Amino acid sequence: MPKNLFQDMVQAKRARSGMEQVMQPRPPTNPQGVERVEKSRGRYSFWMVAVASVVFFLFALSYLFANATITVHPKQQNIILNEDLSATKNSQDALPFDLVVISGEESKIVETVGEKDIAQKAEGVVVIYNAFSSTVQKLDINTRLEGSNDKIYKTEKVITVPGMGKDGKPGSVEVKIYGAEAGTEYNSPPLDFKIFGFKGTSKYSKFYGRSKGAITGGIKGKYPFIPESQKENILSEMKISLEAKLFQKAHDQIPDGFILFQDAVVLKIDSESMNPASAQENMLPFTLKGTLYGVLLNEQKLTQEIVKKNMEKDDESEVYIPHIQNLIFSLSDKDDLLNQDIKNIHFNLSGTIDLVSKLEVEEFTAELLGQSKKNLNQILLQYPNIDSAESVISPFWKRSFPDKIKNIKVIVDYPE
């Protein structure tokens, strides 16, 4: 049977077309799910990178801004002190001392209780000079002095006038004087004096006196008054007040590093003025003048003296004593302070104190640089003047101290 070529060609074309359809991939059955998976993977990768960046950034900051604070508790030794000490004026070797001298006055107005006849002699202070020889000259009590106002005054006590120095400087001594008689005519501005008993001798021109300030208080007549017992109480209160005022004034002027103990002073009363003639409307003014003499001590050298006698000899730590000025100071003889030529003093210090070791902060800080925190106790063993210490390092995950001094803060817990 003859072949139909056209029919065969059609069938072959259909066959090829069917095979092509079989070979083509099928489209996905859920295209939206595939898209979500791809987006989820992208977000996960982004957050992983972000977290890693933050962690890296934080670690970088920890090295740039790391810091540490160490609180150090210094070694302390509590002792009950009762120490006898000596000091030498302006000494370079022994414990030195110096004298502080300050003058002032206290005033008060008191109501009088009536009037009475009063006879009161003028008083003052005179410096008597010896320009005659190098030999001392003794003058008896009530030695008569002739004032340049032609009035006679007398000395209150026995005195010895020092002789001239090798440099020719006259010897001198102070003494209180009073008018030979009561009355206002003995009141006077500063005067020059001669010793009446030397008149007609070679000593008359070589012994002379000059008053320190005015001579005052002489009266005679009917004046307002107060009872003697009341006067004594008033003067006693004024003396206490004057001493406190002068002590505070002296204390405010002493340089840093020096101590003026509360009991290391003595007040010398220079004059008491209660002039009834100055009373007005039954109100009488009192004036008390005085000079405060005090012992000034170097705090560091005094501390060294105390430590030398009360601390272990093998402990060479530098030490300070908090509130050392609160110790009780007792001078063997306070009247010695009234002699400005005094060279040595003997005193006692008593009370409860703490000997507190000092720390060289810069040296200690340098020891910590870059060290592991766990090595702190080992470092502390090198410092016998440290009792204990605590440290805080930030950020919290760091386990070593910063390697720069500026990033380490050392706080020494010294007692207040």
214 and 349 in a single domain? The answer is no
Q: Which of 194, 223, 252 is the last residue of a domain?
A: 223
Q: What pLDDT does 315 receive?
A: 60
210 and 118 in a single domain? The answer is yes
Nearest to 156 by CA among 170, 171, 174, 172: 174
247 and 393 in a single domain? The answer is yes
- Report d(CA 292, CA 269) in Å as an integer: 9
Query: Structural domain tally of the chain?
Result: 2
pLDDT tens for the 416 residues of the chain, in order: 444 444 454 454 454 555 454 455 555 555 555 555 555 555 666 566 556 555 555 555 555 568 999 999 999 989 999 999 999 998 887 899 999 999 999 999 988 888 888 899 999 999 999 999 999 999 999 999 999 999 999 999 999 999 999 999 999 999 999 999 999 999 999 999 999 999 999 999 999 999 998 998 899 998 888 888 898 999 999 999 999 999 999 999 998 899 999 999 999 988 887 778 777 888 888 899 999 999 999 999 999 899 888 876 556 678 889 999 999 999 888 888 888 788 999 999 999 999 999 999 999 999 999 999 999 999 999 998 999 999 999 888 888 999 899 999 999 998 87
- Asked if residue 287 is part of any domain, the answer here is no
Tokens standing for residue 293: 């003499």
- Asked if residue 285 is part of any domain, the answer here is no
156 and 297 in a single domain? The answer is no
349 and 254 in a single domain? The answer is yes
- Asked if residue 358 is part of any domain, the answer here is yes
Tokens standing for residue 339: 């002699």
172 and 76 in a single domain? The answer is no
- Report d(CA 341, CA 101) in Å as an integer: 13
- Report d(CA 346, CA 99) in Å as an integer: 14
367 and 401 in a single domain? The answer is yes
Are 284 and 276 a contacting pair, CB within 8 Å? yes
Helix (H) or strand (E) holding 58: helix 31-64
- The whole domain housing 214 covers 114-223
Q: Looking at the whole model, is its pTM more than 0.75?
A: no
Q: What is the CATH number of the domain that holds 219?
A: 2.40.30
- Report d(CA 212, CA 193) in Å as an integer: 12
75 and 156 in a single domain? The answer is no
- Asked if residue 247 is part of any domain, the answer here is yes
253 and 388 in a single domain? The answer is yes
120 and 103 in a single domain? The answer is no
Tell me the H-state helices in 254-375. 299-310, 361-368
Q: What pLDDT does 393 receive?
A: 92
Q: What pLDDT does 60 receive?
A: 52
Are 109 and 226 a contacting pair, CB within 8 Å? no
- Asked if residue 36 is part of any domain, the answer here is no
Q: What pLDDT does 341 receive?
A: 80
- Report d(CA 128, CA 237) in Å as an integer: 32
- Asked if residue 229 is part of any domain, the answer here is no
Q: What pLDDT does 337 receive?
A: 84
Q: What pLDDT does 396 receive?
A: 82
Are 267 and 242 a contacting pair, CB within 8 Å? yes
Q: What share of the chain is helix, strand, coil (3-state, %, to 5)?
A: 30, 40, 30
Q: What pLDDT does 44 receive?
A: 62
192 and 249 in a single domain? The answer is no
106 and 249 in a single domain? The answer is yes
Q: Which of 223, 250, 283 is the last residue of a domain?
A: 223
